[in-house]
Chains A and B, each alone.
Chain A
Amino acid sequence: MSEILRCENVTKTFGSVTALNNVSLTLESGKIVGLLGPNGSGKTTLIKLINGLLTPNFGRLLVDGDEPGIVTKTKVAYLPDNIYLNGWMTIRQIVEYFEDFYEDFSPACAYEMLDRLGISPEKRLKTLSKGNKEKVCLILVMSRRARLYVLDEPIAGVDPAARDYVISTIINNYNPEATVLISTHLISDIEQILDEVLFIRNGHLVLHKSVEDIRAEEGKSVDELFREVFRW
């Protein structure tokens, strides 16, 4: 098992607000990790730091040994929490765009997943339903052969049937060389596919544990433990 992500005393402030406070953690490859916390706890800040969209005020963060930058962007596949693609583009144009952008992107893999969903590549993105748009974004991200997949709230906006699709897509694309980091507050829907969880509250990392250990030691599901830790 090699180390894919390391945070050392990472702190990020926005003016007087501390979004992340002295967070230290390491993630190994071959894991599916849940990044769990209530709204405003710092999940998206951590994700943006991993992607180099923000830089820490203190501490450092390494992706496969490098600070976020050009090198790490070739290894990290990022699904943001909002759709950023141009609606007027057809799916095929977007696939070609990704192919130009990322060396590790497999168009064949993307077309196969689109075909299974019955989404025609000739359609313009804006003509799809919200759920299908989100599925297309997930397909594009999962069609890369990345070392680290960072999925920010991949199931928040979709119905339960689509959630099952998202979950099976993540399992189907699992590869022992890569790690998947999934942020969510919908824990009961996703906990069964996780290896480990990170609980963050008010910018602090309060728990980093294997889910099987949580079940064995606490006799609780992750969702139950989360409700206990984050009770008002």
Chain B
Amino acid sequence: MSLVREQKIELPDMIAYAGATWDWHKLHYDADYLRERGLDRPVVDGQVFGAYLAIALREWFGPDAVITALSFRFKSLVFAGETIRCVGTVVREEAGTVDVDLRVEVVEGGRIAVAPASATLTLP
């Protein structure tokens, strides 16, 4: 079973996410603020990777799968315009419960954005 999901993150996605989460940190859109900190592109809000992993898990295991736990650690920044790839590996499955190891890669350049990460789901 191939557990892979790719998603390009464009600046309008980041603006929408900032509004949807009431998080207006300048790292995510303000060119002057970024330049002062040696950054040349807006930084994707790290919190969104929780949402992206949850979407990937429900696509892989179906809409009736229930995510009961999700954890992730940040490895490197992701920038506007980059494409991320969520990758999952089932490490245990028994009695309607599945444990999945996860990571998020940046397609351009192959660096790891999020790892280690893991989730537990109950299946219907």
Q: Are A and B physically bound partners? A: no
Binding site for A on B (CB under 8 A): none
